Structure 1
Amino acid sequence: MAAEAAISLLIERLQVWLEEEQVDYPQHVLPIQQATDELQKFLGNLRSGNKSHESYQSFQLWETSILPIVYKVEDMVDTFLVRTATQKKKGFSKTNPLTRPLKFQRESPFVNEIKKFDTEWGEIRAQLANHSGEVTVSESNFPIHQQGRLTQLSGKNLDCTDEESYMIGFEETIEHLADALTTDQWRQGRSRVISVVGRSGSGKTKLAQMVYNIARVRQHFTFCHWTYISRAFEAEKVLVPMYERLIGGKVGRNLPHKELRRRLYDVLQTKRYLIVMDDIWTPSIWDELRDVFPDSKNGSRILITTRNKDIASYADPRCLALEPRLLKDADSWRLFMKRAGIAEDDMNNSELIKHKDGILRKCKGLPQAVSLLGGLLSRKEFMEWSRVLEHPTFGEGNSSISDILALSYQDLPSPLKPVFLYLGTFPRAFEINVRRLYQLWLAEGLARPLHSQERDLAQEDLLEKYFEELLRRNMVEVLRCKSDGSPKTCRLPGILYDFFYSKAVDMGLFYIHRKSDYASKEPPNLNVRRLAEHLDIKSYPTLDPYIQCLRSYISLNTPRRYTPAREIGIFIDNIVTKQGFGLLRVLDLEGVYKPTLSKSLGKLLQLRYLGLRWTALDSLPASVGNLPYLETLDLKHTNIDTLPRSIWSARNLRHLYVNEIHLNMSIPEPSTWSLINLRTLWGLFIGDNKSLFDRSVTDRLVGLKNLGLTCNSRTAQVTAQWISQLTNLRTLRLRSKDIYGQPSGLELSPMNTHVSLSNVYLIGELLTPMLPPENNASFLSPNLKVLTLSFSNLKVDPMPILGKLPQLHMLRLFARSYTGKQMACHHEGFPKLRVLKLWMLEKLEDWIIKQGAMPCLRELEIRHCGRLVSADGLQQLSSLKELMLTNMPMKFVDDAKGRMGEDVAITINNWVFQV
């Protein structure tokens, strides 16, 4: 399983070598090319789909002998690349014999190692051929993914908010559970605890999520909280986020454990709460948490999901226990059609219907099995379905969900296999930021085109397609979406994590640091390559197998605040000490409080990703600017106010996130800029410095896709002119402020040629009209999905113009964005708007909503509009699901309540702000 992923990564490394070093090392080209060809052929064997079930299983056993050789060659290639980078840094030239070190003047041991690899690899291929039959490498013998609809990834945007398909077959159970949570009659003679019990893949978590998100359920409680119970359970990691969400602060992690429990109990006692604890594994977990939740007999509920019926009864013998039943055939088929993306015109296709019984037999009513098989078959033409359903992975007898899981993975294109398995680096059910994930994939070298047509794509666009493919196959789950509808956070579904995690760890793709005592623990069979820390790094071993080959370190352990993580510096020194350099490509310390960064950081010459977001660091080692391969530098939400000047010459830098660093403090001469690959520039404060707009700089930045800038009124015009040239932009956040930090004048140039621009956030008074008198929206990007205005001081009602934007999903009009008294949303205006937020429009008195306006609006939030007393037409918003009113006049609140139906969740807040 993991062998193919590891070989794919090695092929990528060898191809990088051929691209970067073949001119300087021509004697190495032939053996490297031969090794690459051997690996490509071997992938053909691994991916062959014409073996019997028995030989296929035996074939997989050879991975144990394959992987050490693969990793050895990968280490050799990376070590060679780092050493050549070190020589370059010292000023040696490989082509000039006067400066060339002696070891470059004779044939490198590198060639001998490659030749040895060819011999070993040939022996393994011969053994495999004798055991299971030689396979000719041709397109017809490639696995099932090579044909049909996956010839090219589509790149189309997905609606990551689709929830309806998950309800299929559970409609009655959902209503039953919602009633149990919200109706007092269910409490008579019963416990406040309700459990959902089911086997892996039965849909118990999704059922709980669906009920948790129902408007009437959330409206019934004053506090709702969802927590996942990890197998590596620590009570503090459950209680701290709960308490901090209750009080709206970040103080919980600094409290002693007993004090934390006491305060949490006291606050919950004043609430009617709903606490969901997902996936409780043992009774001891319930014992450790139960006393925190007061039974105030006010309708509070605790909902648990578990695989173990005994845990449900242990929590309380009187508790209501719901067990999702297997789907009936009719519901399974409905769900399958939805997850397979079957068009209505194809539902009676004879090729589809003839496979119905076979599909239902293989899925056995398990929702997760139906979703996975549907996702897999969605990538095939109907005529290919027989090859999938008769694949040897299923064996001769009855299939199981494990067979579907294995085939879903096997069917992935080779470059997607390591991309998928990488998700296992994060803890089970961990909410992964998609931005972070893309950039980690990028740093690991996982952006490999599937086809020649994709070679011109930016690596980020390619990874976005990879994610989309996993999403279409139902192999990754989106948890939260951005305002424009694109995925914001995701996770690996639990059943996939359980199946693939241990296999990936056993094959050495990554290593999880959990235990504090390694005294009696044997070193891993394979050297650690990627380390995810779920515990304090100070207890991590320093033996060679744990350090010498490390490529990636991701901290997922958040220590207590105000305790600096000094061990990080020691850890980096240990990595460098082993070889005089490090192979580390990823150093992700997001959320670690003030890690000590060693001076040795500059010796990590392979480093691609340095993540320091939310670390509260005050400074950055100057050596960071000299890292030759650095692609992502994330300093957002830190106290770092200056950058090494050399960072502006980093040719490979693609994503730079800073925290309003003043350009005046950091900028070198424009002629030294080398940021030709920069795609994200976020958080820069340009002040009075116009050097950013020097032609020698702007010509290098035309590829920018995400831009977040702060300027002032003196540089506002030149900023607008420059932005008008950045036609590849997707996201723009532009702010203007004066010397006192208050919003100031902001210029804006036409953006109608920015066809990729989907998200715009403007803070400052618009000195040029954003909405021209021609009464059209052509001034703005035609594909704008999200627009946020703050302190714009618009005096003319913007709604008639903005309502013509055909793709607008979210509109946020914040403080003083509009200073008029009247506002009107006209018939057929805002055809796709889903979210509208109106904050602190202090002069607004009348808001008229015409029939047919905002037909898709689901969420409306109004804050601090003190003069607004009614909204004529509010009841016509037929799609509205959530209405939030904060510090609004009671007359408006009463009027809104009278207009809304029962299916709209209304939240009323009255906040007191202390000055």
Structure 2
Amino acid sequence: MAAYAALASLVQTTVNRNHSKSHFSTYAKEKIGSIHEYAVFLLTFLEYYPERASRWEGKLRDLAHEAEDIIEEFTWRLSFYGRVKISSFKFEEELRNVTEKFGLIAGDVMDERPAYSSLSLSSSSSSSSASSRVAVTGNGVAIGLKEDVMAIKDRLCGLSSKLEVVPIVGMGGIGKTTLARTVYDDSVIMYRFDIRVWLTISQDYSEQKVLLGLVDSMKLIGEHVSTIEMNDISTLKEKVYKNLKGRRYLAVMDDVWSTKVWDDVRIVFPDDGNGSRIMLTTRVADLAVYPDSSSASHEMRFMNDSQSWDLLKGKVFEDRNCPPELEDVGKRIARSCGGLPLAVVLVAGFLSGVDKIPSSWEEISKNVNPIVGPELEGILSLSYTYLSHHLRPCFLFMAMFLEDENISASKLIRLWLASGFLKHQNGCSKSLEEEAEEYLEDLVKRNLVIVTSRKSDGKIKCCSLHDMVRDLCIKKAHDERFLCVLSDSVVRQDVTNERHISFINEQHFTFGQSHMNNIWAPTIRTILYLNLLNFPYAPSFLRCYKLLRIFEAMSENSISIPSEVFELFHLRYLALTCSFIPSAICNLMNLQTLTILPTSLIAPTFYSWKRYWLSDCDPSSHLSLPLEIWRMPQLRHILLCQPYTLPHPPNDSNPPLENLHTLSYIKNLVWNENILKMIPNVKRLGLVYMTSTESHLNLLKHLDQLEKLKVHGYRGFSWQRQNPNFPSTLKKLTLVGGKLPWEDITRIIGSLPNLQMLKLRGHACWGETWETVDGGFPNLEYLLIEIFKLQHWITERSHLPRLKCLVLHSCPMLREIPEGIGQISTLELIEVDHHNISLVESAKQIKEDQESYGNYGLHVCVTHSHEIRRNSLHTSRKRARPSQYDAGSVEER
């Protein structure tokens, strides 16, 4: 029988694909797995009912041949051309088509067969192909997942009797399905639950398909569910519910993309108080908590270098023993995979097919991304495909930045705004910046963007893209002609009609006019020069880009802003290095963001302005903003990384700068009603004082939109002469210098109702003793003290009721931390520097005391650096899941 032979051969082909499985994308592997199950089902049908199969003979034969031809031809092309030169798009399309044909013919065959339950398509077994996306060693133990497996098992076997949802979240290829499958197949779990069902939801979702999968996996097709009932959704739901009722079950919903899935199937899962569980895997954080907001998501972490190397060895060498001469290059290759398990598996498959000699591996080490990129693209592209339209340009714009760059969230948001990606909704009370923050959080929740650090209030401070997500981002951006990233020193010839251009280089480079000679793009809206060492004094090419909105070119040799810049009327974002801002700046009437760096900060550490200490600036310098700055109504952010004086506004009837949200750093500003009137909506303010003159800082209380204030006082500046008064809206306050008495800290600052973060540095405070009182600092969460002369601190837990993080640096005379600090129920972290042994011991004692009361949530960190880690509570390192505080140890840094 030709059909039988063809199907038998196809079953073997789809099973024996394992020798080259690493060359297939997850999508292809899933489709091949489906074909395998269809072939097994149809082969069984032929075996049991040959008399009924005659009408299917030709179709089954031809279809089996077609499927086998597709798989084997692609495998041949892989071996002949190599993975780097072959696109898998056509292959995946052909697999999709043939799988659909198998589905149709299998449906027809099921209509022909007698009613029985032993012959059915098993969604549980077929879904196992999806688990091939994870890396598993020869003995079946998933590398790097031991802690994750234990955590999920603990939740599945927990004491709670109510039905619980256990969500697993992470980016594509990080091992969500492997973790779920490993737990699902665990002997303890198998023994624990009366019934287990596995559903691969995927992006091609339909309610009937999911319900049929549940029915099928519970072996209800046949005697219990007729063909007519299979088309009735209400009947299917009733059948599933009744079959689960009264039984302790584990249901796995793998690869969920929409909340509609849960809305459709929630009703079929009874809660009988018997400890049943639903395990859900998804790439979308919001979706993970949709079934139950109180159920914490299990976030998948990237593998570390050691785990990546162990996985690579396990896949390439059967005995896991790597020859010594290959170990160094092998570790480099593993590290290049960025901690993504699927990438390691893919490159391991490639290594398995080459000579195990250093020269061959060295060549691969230089081409990891080209090898694994095409396979990963199909997987990661789904995350992009399911992005809302309004998020896509925001994501693609991130391709503009350097590889591994720690991208400032505030800078990114300002660029989004300048690009016009955000449209303010009518009636919305949020600012554009607040809406953009939500956009960025959405990208993080979809596991496309990695948070590398957070601010003390939990908002994103810096972010980055995984190397392979960045590759996808660049490709999508190029494919959609959204932007052009030029990483070489010579511009290629085909740069035409681009909208956004970024010049990037891992090394500093010198810009020349020739860089723009090959570009014909009068439609350019964005030009970013990153890692630029020198920029031409007179960039005449700018005259060609009259529609430019964004221009950034930080370089060491710039002294003034080129006059050509002032011809760019549509410019919204300008970031340059200079020491003089001319009055012509007012020509830029649409300018929203003005960022000026002093040239001294560019070399040798590029973009190191955040390390710039204002106390080192020259007090005799006379840097000043021009008077015309008051005639630029669109300004939202003025970021001056060296103190400039701000001229008093003219007496004419200039309208206020109502859009101005950020003004930093301004030197020796004497406040009056006219200035307050001109910046009524300022939210972030940075002030520097190098004089003892009265500056009327008591007027700050009238800035009723101010949320963040930094005041640096040097050279005679004294708070006692200023009679300070701060607005009640203030959330973050940093004081450096000025010697404000401790009693005023308690009286003035302690009474601020919305203050969440307080940083006291240098000589910000005066006196040896600080005593707090009840009712003070009602919402303070972060407290940093760097006060040399502080000796005694008297406080109770009720004085700082919501404190989460306490940082004590450069306090050599403070011998102990008040005992009441440890009793604050919200406290999560105490950080002290290692120089003060007494404080270290005091912090450790507080931790031990709290643990004796059963409180294991307090973490103590001892830092070996004077640098303040401003994000102690919320730091999440690149390629690592945000670490949880280890209650059993004291962290040394």
| Counterparts in 2 of 1:839 and 1:803: CA distance versus 1, 3 Å | farther
1:448 aligns with 2:423: yes
**Paired letter, 1:442:** L
1:707 aligns with 2:602: no
**Paired letter, 1:884:** T
Residue in 2 that maps onto 1:765: 739
* Alignment RMSD (CA, Å): 4.6
Aligned partners of 2:627 and 2:649 also within 8 Å? yes
- Among 685, 707, 714, the residue aligned to 1:737: 714
Q: Distance in 2 between matches of 1:540 and 1:507?
A: 27
Q: Distance in 2 between matches of 1:855 and 1:827?
A: 10
> Map of 1:464-863 to 2, 5 A cutoff?
464-518=437-491, 521-524=492-495, 526-527=497-498, 529-534=500-505, 536-538=510-512, 540-543=514-517, 545-559=519-533, 565-567=534-536, 569-570=537-538, 572-576=539-543, 578=544, 582-590=546-554, 594=558, 597-612=561-576, 615=577, 617-638=578-599, 641-663=623-645, 669=651, 672=654, 674-686=656-668, 690=670, 692-693=671-672, 695-711=673-689, 718-721=696-699, 723-738=700-715, 745=720, 747=722, 749=724, 751=726, 753-754=728-729, 757-766=731-740, 769-771=743-745, 779-795=751-767, 797-798=769-770, 800-801=772-773, 805-816=777-788, 819=789, 821-827=791-797, 830=800, 832-841=802-811, 843-850=813-820, 852-853=823-824, 856-862=827-833
> Map of 1:68-79 to 2, 5 A cutoff?
none
**Paired letter, 1:707:** L
- Among 459, 463, 468, the residue aligned to 2:436: 463
Q: Distance in 2 between matches of 1:514 and 1:830?
A: 51
Aligned partners of 2:486 and 2:501 also within 8 Å? no
* Structure number with bigger Rg: 2
Residue in 2 that maps onto 1:884: 863
Aligned partners of 2:663 and 2:684 also within 8 Å? yes
**Structure 1 residue 413, shift from structure 2 partner:** 3.4
**Structure 1 residue 731, shift from structure 2 partner:** 0.8
**Structure 1 residue 574, shift from structure 2 partner:** 0.9
Structure-1-length-normalised TM-score = 0.50
Aligned partners of 2:489 and 2:515 also within 8 Å? no
Structure-2-length-normalised TM-score = 0.51
Residue in 1 that maps onto 2:394: 419
**Paired letter, 1:573:** S
Q: Distance in 1 between matches of 2:378 and 2:728?
A: 50
Q: Distance in 1 between matches of 2:813 and 2:563?
A: 56
**Structure 1 residue 446, shift from structure 2 partner:** 1.5
**Structure 1 residue 853, shift from structure 2 partner:** 3.8
**Paired letter, 2:420:** G
| Counterparts in 2 of 1:594 and 1:765: CA distance versus 1, 3 Å | same
Aligned partners of 1:832 and 1:857 also within 8 Å? no
What SS is found at the alignment partner of 1:738?
Answer: coil
Aligned partners of 1:481 and 1:489 also within 8 Å? yes
**Structure 1 residue 430, shift from structure 2 partner:** 2.3
**Structure 1 residue 476, shift from structure 2 partner:** 1.4
**Structure 1 residue 332, shift from structure 2 partner:** 9.0
What SS is found at the alignment partner of 1:464?
Answer: helix
What SS is found at the alignment partner of 2:422?
Answer: coil
Q: Distance in 2 between matches of 1:642 and 1:903?
A: 51
Aligned partners of 2:648 and 2:675 also within 8 Å? no
Q: Distance in 1 between matches of 2:378 and 2:174?
A: 18
Q: Distance in 2 between matches of 1:603 and 1:621?
A: 13
**Structure 1 residue 448, shift from structure 2 partner:** 1.1
Aligned partners of 2:834 and 2:862 also within 8 Å? no
**Paired letter, 2:402:** P
| Counterparts in 2 of 1:664 and 1:586: CA distance versus 1, 3 Å | closer
Residue in 2 that maps onto 1:903: 889
| Counterparts in 2 of 1:556 and 1:371: CA distance versus 1, 3 Å | farther
- Per-residue CA deviations over 1:854-909 (Å, capped at 9, x if unaligned) read 7533241237669979638433365224213679xxxxxxxxxxxx98621235xx
| Counterparts in 2 of 1:641 and 1:594: CA distance versus 1, 3 Å | same
**Paired letter, 1:642:** S
**Paired letter, 1:424:** A
| Counterparts in 2 of 1:825 and 1:719: CA distance versus 1, 3 Å | closer
| Counterparts in 2 of 1:797 and 1:655: CA distance versus 1, 3 Å | same
| Counterparts in 2 of 1:835 and 1:558: CA distance versus 1, 3 Å | farther
> Map of 1:115-264 to 2, 5 A cutoff?
170=144, 172=146, 201-203=172-174
Residue in 1 that maps onto 2:80: none
**Structure 1 residue 551, shift from structure 2 partner:** 1.2
- Per-residue CA deviations over 1:436-488 (Å, capped at 9, x if unaligned) read 10111111112213x5443x432112211211222222221101122333211
What SS is found at the alignment partner of 1:611?
Answer: strand
Aligned partners of 1:810 and 1:833 also within 8 Å? yes
Aligned partners of 2:768 and 2:792 also within 8 Å? no
Q: What count of residue pairs does the alignment treat as equivalent?
A: 525
For structure 1, list consecutive stretches of 5 or more residues without a partner in the other structure: 1-52, 54-167, 177-198, 205-323, 337-348, 364-368, 383-399, 560-564, 888-899, 908-915
**Structure 1 residue 596, shift from structure 2 partner:** 6.6
**Structure 1 residue 629, shift from structure 2 partner:** 0.7
Residue in 1 that maps onto 2:404: 429
- Per-residue CA deviations over 1:189-221 (Å, capped at 9, x if unaligned) read xxxxxxxxxx995449xxxxxxxxxxxxxxxxx
For structure 2, list consecutive stretches of 5 or more residues without a partner in the other structure: 1-30, 32-141, 151-169, 190-198, 200-236, 259-278, 293-374, 601-621, 851-855, 867-885
Q: Distance in 2 between matches of 1:795 and 1:439?
A: 41
Aligned partners of 2:493 and 2:518 also within 8 Å? no
Aligned partners of 2:500 and 2:525 also within 8 Å? yes
